[in-house]
Amino acid sequence: MLKRESFSDRLWLLRRPVQFLTDIAVLTAAFLLAYSPTINFRVGDQHFDQALNQLPFVVLIQISILFLAGGYSIIWRYISISDIRVFLSAALGSGGILLALRFLLVYTDLGRWQVPISVIVISTVFAFGGMLAVRVLRRFLYELGDSKRVPRGRGRVKRKPALLVGAGRMGATLIKEMAGRADAELEIRGLVDDDARKTGGRVSGVKVLGTTVDLERLIEELKIKQVVIAIDHAQGKEIRRIVDLCTTMSVKTQIVPSLNEIAHGRVSVSRIRDVQIEDLLGREPVELDDKNLAEFLQGKVVMVTGGGGSIGSELVRQIKNFDPSLLLLVERAEYALFKIERELATEHPDVRFLPLIADVNDESRMREIFDTHKPDVIFHAAAHKHVPLMESNAAEAVKNNILATRSLGELAGEFGVKDFVLISTDKAVNPTSVMGASKRIAEIVVQELDAKYATKYVAVRFGNVLGSTGSVVTVFREQIRKGGPVTVTDAEMTRYFMTIPEASQLVLQAGALGTGGEIFVLDMGSPVSIIDLAADMIRLSGLVPYEDIDIEFSGIRSGEKLFEELEIHGEVLEKTRHPKIYIGKIAAYPEAEVREMLSSFTDAVAAGEGEIRRLFNQYLPEAKVNEVPDQALSVGSVSSSRFVTKRPKLGLAEK
């Protein structure tokens, strides 16, 4: 959340005496010109003494109003169109005060301070127009000098001829940033935009040459070596179409960082990067109800378990924008906690947070944290989530995903936590794996707790997250880096994918929407073919699938599904007021049955894997968990069971 500008922040003008004196000179000149008969025919030479008397009074009012309007917090060299409103409001404010004084002093003996209306109007226009013009001139001279400046120790780089796709705000910003850099590697020879009305126009001096239909022709005519995608809200299908076309013409394609990356301060617009798989799978940006989220999080003590993980750390990044009074980062992995702790400390020093090394299975440690810090809101993201690993470590899945959730939830109710949000998964729907079944039991647990305590307990389900630790995308990247092969379990396998920021933002929104007992289901779009995902990632690495790098099939692993599902049989998805969040309507389990279930699983942890699997199938009618642990599918032996099948080579047009 943006903080209000403090009074001390505005006092920077005392450190800029030349700029301040320049404004005084402009205001003085504007007022005297307003009294000049050459410009203002309503006054004559006899009024000059009156002008000198009124000058300090008028200049003091104008400079004070500009100061209060925030005009002296604007850095001259970076003045922009949006800053005009500051000068406009200052002009209206000072003009209004002078007019009010003009009429209030009519019946007093202070008539010499009555500024003529014509002088007020003319001097206001000249004064604030002049000060704005001086600042614009300063920016112009700064950018002109910067464009001629060559970095010390190196000459001007040889620039590649490039086309920019996107004649909107992002494209305009990129052109301006690159124009001011002598070391820029691209020479923008033109723009293309699918809004045909822009064709023939210019953006920051660069001409819009056509639409993306003209890309092939323009690449050939202008001998383009690189295409940069700078579309404000580019969709995956748009990016894919451009990338595919440029690939066939052997032209490199890059992209301007997303608005989300820029907003988080990770990169600037000018940091063009290669197109990534996240771009091709990109979805509509999430629209958040900031008012609702502010009410949910502002001024609260917020705990995130698993705060160093992929989802947990992103939740932390999102929550800090809503000004919590304290962020509690609970994490048992020391290095993961260290990374997010350093990020917050260096990039967001104004955020109050506390890194806490703790295991959510350790009831006494968690009780100590609750007793000391009294959290208001809990996001429970700590979990074992890797499907094949949990198949051979079922007891650990039960302890971490079920029993720890129960313990943490009980503490939340006991200590009067307002909201408890469980991070669940689409694998909890009709589960075939230990991991999925354990998360479904965790959902049942929080529903039962919601009926027992005043705390609002909700669960949020979503699919695979692009780039999360251990995800298929990170595995494919590592395999491509090593030269392949890329291994896919089955040619027909599909998965739902979301980006980490999108999933985290929707989790926050779902938490704010919850009234207690809901299982929220996030809109995950259309399922993605894993083999197509692998082929896309190979192409984006500048390689050709089945030529430079093979794609091999290893066979579906125990607990895996060919496709994920969104709802349990008999469950109905209802809309919420957010278009990407639904409520899965399914009856909660009776309290007695949940107590029996948890007691059975507690005993089964010591009894062995087979008993745990049997209990999953007993208590979850929709589950189909293999009751015999498949030891052959342990992590070290997956490769030994691989069988290889190669698809025929496909051209881009056949994909």
User: Which domains are delineated in the chain?
Assistant: 7-148 (no CATH), 160-275 (3.40.50.720), 290-641 (3.40.50.720)
pLDDT per position as a tens digit, 585-603: 777 888 899 999 999 999 9
Q: Please, are residues 58 and 115 in contact by the beta-carbon 8 Å criterion?
A: yes
Res 337: pLDDT? 95
Rounded CA-CA distance 449/458 in Å is 10
Residues catalogued as catalytic: 427
Range list of H helices, 320-471:
334-347, 363-373, 387-391, 394-397, 404-414, 434-452
Distance CA 599, CA 375 (A): 28
Please state, in angstroms and rounded to a whole number, the distance separating the CA atoms of residues 645 and 633: 20
- Contact yes or no for 499/525 (Cβ under 8 A): no
Positions in the chain short of pLDDT 50: 1-15, 150-155, 262-270, 632-655
DSSP states along 161-192: EEEEE--SHHHHHHHHHHHT-TT--EEEEEEE
Model pTM score: 0.66
Helix (H) or strand (E) holding 495: strand 494-495
**Pair of tokens at residue 493:** 């396998």
Per-residue pLDDT at 652: 27
Give residue 363's pLDDT: 94
Quote the DSSP letter at residue 112. Answer: G
